[in-house]
Amino acid sequence: MKPLTILTTILAIGTFTAHAQDPATVTDSAAEIASITAEPAFQGDTTKPPADFVDVDKEPVVIAKKEPVYPALALKAGMEGKVWVKIWVDKTGKPREVVIIKSDADVFDGSAMEAARQFRFTPAYIKDKPVDVWVSVPFRFKLAEKRETDKTVTDTVWGKFPRVIMKFTREVLEGGSPDSDVVNAFVLHGAQSIANGYLRPLVLALREQGEGKHTIEEPGRKVAFSTGGMADDGRSGYLVVRTEKKGTKPHYHTIVMQQDVGLNWRIVHWHTWHSSR
């Protein structure tokens, strides 16, 4: 069993950033921040939290996240900073408690905690049993004019969808074998795949890819071009992607995504076409 530690969790899920560039995402007052910080996660719950370090067979994976709001006070003062929080993730993958580990400035704490409470994870497992664990998440607050270019995005269309589902999509496009829990988190029940002329449930196609059958994509391919669009209501969209590999023909993918009733993004259809020209 491998240890779930604060360090490995940070490396696994990355840093979530608030950029001060959209006035609609700015917290209005210090009072609002204070009320968020003071709010207990579970009032009257006597369940004991897990130990800080738990040996698990399978670590939790972020499947839904909330970008932190940039506090107005920090924006006015031109402040930047980072906040590290730890989240008690229960057996269903939901946060039960959020605790500040370290903070560059108190003004960011409430926004980071509020964002962390809205995360969702796949559960951690010991053998086949889900368990409660703590995970650590860093949040970075960075002013817009200093924003760094995201080198993982090949086309502006990719930025229209949540980064977490785009990371999953890229893994599949480049021949990766995603974990079954992650597949279940991002694929809508009943979604279909058309690959190599065969129609089959998308979950099954992804599982077969993990078994080395490459029903959607083969290892070693890279995203070379992508385009797509988003519906006017912002709740559905599509990608058209070309993947390339030296010495082979290009492959093309059409991927349709939409939000479910819980506003989580899901893949609802995936069509793969292998060029013969």
Number of domains comprising the chain: 2
Q: Is the pLDDT of residue 11 over 70?
A: no
Torsion of the alpha carbons at 168, 186, 93 and 177, rounded to the nearest 10: -50
Which of 109, 124, 146 terminates a domain? The answer is 146
- For 184-203, write each residue's pLDDT tens digit: 889 998 999 998 778 999 99
Q: Do 208 and 138 fall into the same domain?
A: no
Q: Do 141 and 169 fall into the same domain?
A: no
Residue 151 located in a structural domain: no
Q: Do 66 and 27 fall into the same domain?
A: yes
Which of 92, 115, 146 terminates a domain? The answer is 146
CATH assignment of the domain containing 46: 3.30.2420.10
C-beta separation of 85 from 137 below 8 A: yes
Instruction: For residues 47 and 42, give the distance between their C-alpha atoms in angstroms, rounded to a whole number.
Output: 10
Q: Do 268 and 135 fall into the same domain?
A: no
- For 70-116, write each residue's pLDDT tens digit: 888 888 777 889 999 999 999 999 999 999 999 999 999 999 999 99
At 102 the three-state DSSP class reads strand
Question: How many Å is the maximal CA-CA distance in the chain?
Answer: 66
Which of 128, 146, 164 terminates a domain? The answer is 146
**Structural domain containing residue 118:** 2-146
Q: Which band of pLDDT confidence, cut at 50, 70 and 90, is reported for residue 17?
A: low
Residue with the bigger pLDDT between 174 and 22: it is: 174
Specify the residue for token string 């070379």. 224
Q: Does this model's pTM top 0.85?
A: no
Q: Do 61 and 120 fall into the same domain?
A: yes
At 47 the three-state DSSP class reads coil
